[in-house]
Structure 1
């Protein structure tokens, strides 16, 4: 009788032990699953992209970002950089409504200035030789992405690329689609307002005058996107070159544009020069009172989503009175 009870006790003990082992295995499986989840989460916080310097792995949750001269693309994604591009006291004025409180960082990215901002992501243009430090220098400070030339020169690709880096691809698509809609609406409005009339843009700085070629900065918005006609003088200039040469006052007399946007800071000498020039006053735009002075040329001398939107707003305000 005792042996039978002892056997039952042993069987019950073995069953209990087996249950504990199975339970423990289940807990290990849960822990493993949890660890795997954590690993997946860590993997999702990084992205590997092709860059000018080859494949590079970047954090997708960066909060302190430096992208000198390309703050436009960051802001289009709802991201504020930690510092803003500057040449001395000059900044991109058209972005100041969002960046006015940020510290400036010099255009050639001095290493000490970069270190002082404690960035966790640095985004550079393809022309890295223009920076004070080398790619390796910046990599020691924070993960660094160097754009390819086609990305540097195309703000849409910038927004798409920055969207991938920061896991904001939907926001990138939304921003670009909204811009397309803005262009389409503006194009229709302007077609009804000015028809086939021609438009030109001139930047006056000091007593020099620079005429925008069809693909120079935001003039591309005028001609390629809004479908506005350019005068013959601008057609003859061809594509914009790296070196932007001024035109003489005599040459400007050949500008048979129906409308002219004159970009000149308040008090710029060039404004008075044109007002007092019989040669200039004989041009169609001047004779008909269709010269529009814009005191902030910064969005016109840049390429970006926000720059382009502001250029469209300038054009609509002037030409649809």
Structure 2
């Protein structure tokens, strides 16, 4: 009888052991499956061309003229936008050693840089109708115009593309704090005095509307007063017409940020002009020459941060 009971007990323990082992095996299988699900290899998004499947964690990205958003997210591209030897100067500390690629993205150059993801700022940025050719090289994402026009939306979307949404949110929150701190200091320094941005390029003068490039930082993020002349310009259009030297007195800005590269013919024209030298901002020493136009004439988080630093340094004494 004792032997029978021991045999029965042994059988029960054996069954319980087997059930437990199977359960443990199934649990590990479930964990493994969940882990696989969480490590997706592809992401499906909707861009200007429709549905696009891109790698979830791309390593070699080419995104011409979108490098600001990449760098803001801690990503170094496989190649950087250029026109000849011209690159985005303000990003060179982060892009040192990154090879250049022509602004029109020649197919041979793209192939040689071996991208696993190509990103275009808009459909119109794709030259010669070669969208299908780029797709054959690597998955290709094309920004919608409304997403690219606003650098905040551009950065947020880049976070979506690269699975770095949290990083994008952190970067935007940090920027907002920086802008708010600078705004407070600037308003304490100059009160309701106005400012304008004039870009000198190839001997011509361009006055920035309130929402063009760095002017958006000046007037929206930093709350600096617009001169009435700038207000009357309205929103920035795609076409950008120069302003005549004779019109400069009508701006009536208390402060002027003069954006140019050293040696531009327009600077000599201004310095020798009685019209320019007669402006109140000039006579009061409120003209600030900025010799790196690269971050003043582009939209982007890093460009905007550098604009804030330059404006604060000039106006807060």
Same fold (TM over 0.5): yes
Match of 2:59 in 1: 63
1:298 matched to 2:287? no
Deviation at residue 86 of structure 1 after TM alignment: 0.8
Q: 1:22 to 1:123 in 2, by over 3 A?
A: same
Match of 1:264 in 2: 260
Distance 2:112 2:51 in 1: 27
Distance 1:184 1:311 in 2: 14
Match of 2:112 in 1: 116
Detail structure 1 runs of 4+ shifted over 4 Å in the superposition. Answer: 14-28
Distance 1:316 1:85 in 2: 29
Match of 2:33 in 1: 36
Deviation at residue 88 of structure 1 after TM alignment: 1.4
Over residues 289-318 of structure 1, what are the superposed CA-to-partner deviations in whole Å (9 max), with x where a residue is unaligned?
A: 111111111111001000000001110111
Match of 2:4 in 1: none
Distance 2:18 2:288 in 1: 84
User: Secondary structure at 2:57's aligned position in 1?
Assistant: coil
Residues 48 and 143, structure 2, Cα contact 8 Å, conserved in 1: yes
Match of 2:3 in 1: none
Identify the match of residue 168 of structure 1 among 161, 164, 168: 164
Over residues 201-243 of structure 1, what are the superposed CA-to-partner deviations in whole Å (9 max), with x where a residue is unaligned?
A: 1111122111111111111111111111111221222221111
Deviation at residue 253 of structure 1 after TM alignment: 2.4
Over residues 183-202 of structure 1, what are the superposed CA-to-partner deviations in whole Å (9 max), with x where a residue is unaligned?
A: 11111111111111110111
Deviation at residue 273 of structure 1 after TM alignment: 0.9
The alignment of Structure 1 onto Structure 2 pairs a total of residues equal to 314
Deviation at residue 21 of structure 1 after TM alignment: 8.1
When structure 1 is superposed on structure 2, of 216-225 and 47-56 the one drifting more is 47-56
Match of 1:318 in 2: 314
Deviation at residue 25 of structure 1 after TM alignment: 5.5
Deviation at residue 249 of structure 1 after TM alignment: 0.9
When structure 1 is superposed on structure 2, of 159-168 and 30-39 the one drifting more is 30-39
Over residues 80-99 of structure 1, what are the superposed CA-to-partner deviations in whole Å (9 max), with x where a residue is unaligned?
A: 11111111111111111111
Match of 1:141 in 2: 137
Match of 1:250 in 2: 246
Question: Structure 2: where are the runs of 5+ without partners?
Answer: 1-7
Deviation at residue 169 of structure 1 after TM alignment: 1.5
When structure 1 is superposed on structure 2, of 126-135 and 145-154 the one drifting more is 126-135
User: Secondary structure at 1:101's aligned position in 2?
Assistant: coil
TM-score, normalised by the number of residues in structure 1: 0.89
User: Secondary structure at 2:84's aligned position in 1?
Assistant: coil
Distance 2:98 2:47 in 1: 28
Structure with bigger gyration radius: 1
Residues 48 and 123, structure 2, Cα contact 8 Å, conserved in 1: no
Query: What is the aligned-residue RMSD (CA, Å)?
Result: 2.5
Residues 233 and 255, structure 1, Cα contact 8 Å, conserved in 2: yes
Q: 1:214 to 1:19 in 2, by over 3 A?
A: closer
Distance 1:16 1:185 in 2: 70
User: Secondary structure at 2:293's aligned position in 1?
Assistant: coil
Distance 1:190 1:20 in 2: 74
Over residues 117-172 of structure 1, what are the superposed CA-to-partner deviations in whole Å (9 max), with x where a residue is unaligned?
A: 11111111223464245222222111111111111111111221221222222111
Deviation at residue 262 of structure 1 after TM alignment: 0.6
Question: Structure 1: where are the runs of 5+ without partners?
Answer: 1-10
Deviation at residue 34 of structure 1 after TM alignment: 6.0
Distance 1:287 1:131 in 2: 47
Match of 2:150 in 1: 154
Residues 52 and 148, structure 1, Cα contact 8 Å, conserved in 2: yes
